[in-house]
Amino acid sequence: MKHGIYYAYWEHQWKANYCYYVDKVARLGFDVLEIGCGSLPDYSKEQVSELKKHADDHGIILSGGYGPTANHNIASKDPKVRENALDWYKRLFEKMGELDMRMLCGALYAYWPIDFSNVDSKEEEWKRSVEGTRLLADAAAPYNINLGMETINRFEEYLLNTADECIAFVKEVGKDNVKIHLDTFHMNIEEDDIGTAIRKAGKLLGHLHTGECNRKVPGQGRIPWHEIGQALRDIQYDEMVVMEPFVLMGGEAGRDIKIWRDISKGASEEQLDRDAADAVCFQRYMLDWNR
């Protein structure tokens, strides 16, 4: 099991200087840095090799998170949008390949966060999404990239809210590199039983996000970590576990994640760093059955 953190814990925008965060997370005791992929297709050769060198020098694995914008919606009603989205993802996969990135996760089956004033019937959306995801999977396969279909709560998404829905979706897509991606924050809202949801996902679970009920770092809240650790052991989960805390107001991230108060309580960067370092120790202890 590899333990990671999403860079946006420290940031307000959906892009950043990832070299800075490679250095930081290595120092704090992580194995993985998850980066926001929105800017990657436009990276120059120099930017790619600088980031790759940082990651290699620090022994950090990079994974990719992406909340697709509406114009990158692979399930859009508009065929032109779907076509442009696929082209954009192809450019992304090329850059991810150069960076040795093997996981792209998020609401890749549609876009995020959803504008609920403009939704199609779930059945129609599902059909287009299955087709679009198959195309994405074929484009990602030559680079050995797995795609994590993130199961997201009802206030942000409407296609995949529960592990059951994600299991059905992934099975229908039927591509080896399309995996289930669960997130403890979303599961806390939607699942009857978090352990059961993980066990049902079983070998199809390809990625896991962690965070408390209010998106603080793991260990500062009331998510049932023992139950999750037991379930991960039951399915012998051996992929990445990436914490995704969000505690800062403002910017694109504050708006999309809906942070309307300073959850960090004015924490300095040093304090955020200490909390992350404590959280990765906690997460290894609670979840890593193979440690």
Ligand X SMILES: O=C(CO)[C@H](O)[C@H](O)[C@H](O)CO
When asked if residue 156 is in the footprint of ligand X (CB under 6 A), the reply is yes
What counts of helices (H) and strands (E) characterise the chain?
Answer: 10, 8
When asked if residue 54 is in the footprint of Mn ion (CB under 5 A), the reply is no
Q: Angle at the Cα of 158 (from 109 to 87), degrees rounded to 5?
A: 20
Residue 2, classed as helix, strand or coil, is: strand
CB atoms within 10 A of CB 193: 14
150 is annotated as an active-site residue: yes
DSSP for 13-48, please give it.
Answer: SS---HHHHHHHHHHHT-SEEEEE-TTGGG--HHHH
* Dist. CA 193–CA 144, nearest whole Å: 33
When asked if residue 36 is in the footprint of ligand X (CB under 6 A), the reply is yes
The least distance separating Mn ion from the CB of residue 207, rounded to whole angstroms, comes to: 9
* Dist. CA 214–CA 205, nearest whole Å: 23
Closest-approach residue to ligand X (CB): 67
Piece of 21-29, 149-157, 218-226, 268-276 that binds ligand X (CB under 6 A)? 149-157
Contact with ligand X (CB under 6 A) among 11, 31, 125, 150: 150
When asked if residue 275 is in the footprint of ligand X (CB under 6 A), the reply is no
Contact with Mn ion (CB under 5 A) among 207, 209, 215, 216: 209
* Dist. CA 112–CA 167, nearest whole Å: 20
212 is annotated as an active-site residue: no
The residue from 150, 190, 212, 239 that is catalytic is: 150
- 95 or 209: whose CB is closer to Mn ion? 209
Using CB under 5 A as the binding rule, the residues of this chain from 164 to 183 that contact Mn ion are 183
Give the interface with Mn ion as residue ranges (CB under 5 A).
Answer: 183, 209, 244
Residues recognised as catalytic: 150, 244
